[in-house]
Amino acid sequence: MRRYLIAGNWKMNTTRQSGVALASELAAAAAKEEAGVEVLACPPYPYLLPVGEKLAGSAVRLGAQDAYFEAPGAFTGEIAVEMVKDCGCQYVILGHSERRHVMGETDATINRKVRAVISGGLTAVLCVGELLSERQAGQTEAVLDRQMDGGYSGISESEAASIVIAYEPVWAIGTGVTATPEQAESAHEHLRKWLARRYNAAFSEKVRILYGGSVKADNAESLLGQPNVDGALVGGASLKAATFVPIIEAARKLAAGG
């Protein structure tokens, strides 16, 4: 049984004050460890420490939205894996579509970051997903295969245990358009088969595959109820406890048997 992971990607949002206030509400909503659901908050870098302080003692994990692959040194503007670890992060989101398509990150760059995060002892949330034009051209599975081949390049099975996948169709991110539960399930099943081919079937069954793309309270249960959907990476709806906590609750309900 895979444990649900409900992750909030705050992107370049919140102030220190509003981020800390949100963290307090999340800490109250997920105060204790739960067998069925894990909760993660990924604030902007400058707020990692104050947000982490508010989350301390709760069950909410702290994550970063990116990290550079080099060790600390002369890389102006970048943030090293050991720095986000030092701030209390356990997870790092990598290869988010905004980093791929706005900042121009390639699969090769993302792979270096994945390896740096794993060797730093953290868990990578590796995002993959197709553009609308790619879906319309029938290329979804080919795009996912390419991103998985790139992201997992040179990574052993034991290292791959420190990767969570997030399937995020680009056309569904921040658009209000959500993949149907069937579209999400089909992509997740494809990703799990890729893992079974690359590693083995037993390993593929252990990997958590999150869905991301306009997840909200009203669609969370139907998406999370799919057999291969093991959680959600939530953008817009993660910025308020009132919209994020119901997604956690949907996962709790399903983890408790529906």
Q: How many residues bind ligand PEP (CB under 6 A)?
A: 15
99 vs 115, which CB is nearer to ligand PEP? 99
105 vs 204, which CB is nearer to ligand PEP? 105
Interhelix angle 16-29/241-255, rounded to 10 degrees, is 30
Taking CA 199 as the corner, what is the angle to CA 8 and CA 233, rounded to the nearest 5 degrees?
10
102 vs 202, which CB is nearer to ligand PEP? 102
- Which DSSP symbol is given to 2? P
By the rule CB under 6 A, 235 interacts with ligand PEP: yes
By the rule CB under 6 A, 57 interacts with ligand PEP: no
Based on the residue annotation, tell me whether 96 is a catalytic residue of this protein.
Answer: yes
By the rule CB under 6 A, 179 interacts with ligand PEP: no
Per CB under 6 A, the list member of 19, 43, 151, 213 interacting with ligand PEP is 213
Q: Which of 38, 98, 105, 168 is catalytic?
A: 168
Q: How would you class 182 by CB atoms within 10 Å of its CB: exposed for 0-12, middle for 13-18, buried for 19 or more?
A: exposed
- The footprint of ligand PEP on residues 157-176 (CB under 6 A) is 168, 173-174
Based on the residue annotation, tell me whether 25 is a catalytic residue of this protein.
Answer: no
Minimum distance of ligand PEP from residue 215's CB (angstroms) = 5
* Residue whose C-beta lies closest to ligand PEP: 235
By the rule CB under 6 A, 8 interacts with ligand PEP: no
Return phi, psi of residue 63, to 5°. Answer: -140, 160
Six-digit token string for 108: 């090769």
Q: Which residues contact residue 210 at a Cβ distance below 8 angstroms, ignoring those fewer than 6 apart?
A: 5, 7, 125, 164, 165, 166, 167, 229, 230, 231, 232, 233
65 vs 204, which CB is nearer to ligand PEP? 65
Q: Which residues are tagged catalytic?
A: 96, 168
Residues of this chain that interact with ligand PEP (CB under 6 A) are 9, 11, 96, 168, 173-174, 212-215, 233-237
